Structure 1
């Protein structure tokens, strides 16, 4: 087997996961043990699937399933979406992401009232959560300013 062509390098999976975490899960982006464990599992799954005769496409799907398991619904993306949609006129574009990161910890307790599955964003409960978080952020801005 030509390792350069058929064997996904551990660093490939590590970088893919880090990219997702930085973008959508900033609260997990510094968890090097989590990143290393997931990347190793994904790399091993890819290698095992390839050794078993699976196509490259199937090997990628198997590895990505393991790499991104439980990372399809992002609390941060939800808060960031609300900040961008509802409060973008109150601050400069460059301030939206840092403010959303700050608001994530303020909004965190409200997520606990919902079952956050991978398809949660497509449910009625998501709309309820969206409205609830919009109110929480609005109250925060009234009380603390920007």
Structure 2
């Protein structure tokens, strides 16, 4: 009985840790409780296995974190925030990028742009990232124009 209670505590820890991370980097997936629960369970298993194999608690925690965050290091949300803050700084002062990014994530043109690329944990470190960044910038300009959102420096007439 005590063991079960302890497991629930650990499971809650990994679930909370993952939910917190996803809230910051993948808010569009925060409602996917099935994924969060399954991933937290995998992290707990990795942690318990590591401890059983004689690893220290910090080592086991590190191994569990690798499992917890696998496939989540590259963030569409963070990429959009980066584009909005760097390329549209004058048009969209803070806190607008944080408010606009979740809306843009659900936009079909933005989704189609992301879908062109094989997004992996290492994606931000490869050459294709620059192409994605550039295409997202262009797509956002088109969205702004098609919705008649005035941009700073836009010529009238």
TM superposition score normalised by structure 2: 0.83
Name the residue aligned to 2:33. 32
Taking the TM superposition and a 5 Å limit, the aligned residue runs for 1:55-134 are 55-106=56-107, 107-134=110-137
Runs (4 or more) in structure 1 with deviation over 6 Å come to none
Q: Deviations over 1:24-60 (max 9, x none)?
A: 1111111111111111111121112102211222201
Q: In the alignment, which of 116, 136, 140 is matched to residue 137 of structure 1?
A: 140
The aligned length equals: 143
8 Å CA contact retained: 2:81, 2:98: yes
Runs of 5+ in structure 2 lacking a partner? Answer: 151-157
Cα separation, 2, equivalents of 1:33 and 1:71: 15
Cα separation, 1, equivalents of 2:17 and 2:126: 28
CA-CA distance at 1:116 after TM superposition: 1.1
CA-CA distance at 1:117 after TM superposition: 1.7
Runs of 5+ in structure 1 lacking a partner? Answer: none
Cα separation, 2, equivalents of 1:44 and 1:125: 35
SS of alignment partner, residue 89 of structure 1:
coil
SS of alignment partner, residue 90 of structure 1:
coil
Q: Deviations over 1:45-104 (max 9, x none)?
A: 111210221122220121111111110111111111101111121134122211111112
8 Å CA contact retained: 2:18, 2:69: yes
Cα separation, 1, equivalents of 2:65 and 2:145: 42
TM superposition score normalised by structure 1: 0.89
8 Å CA contact retained: 2:85, 2:92: no
Larger Rg: 2
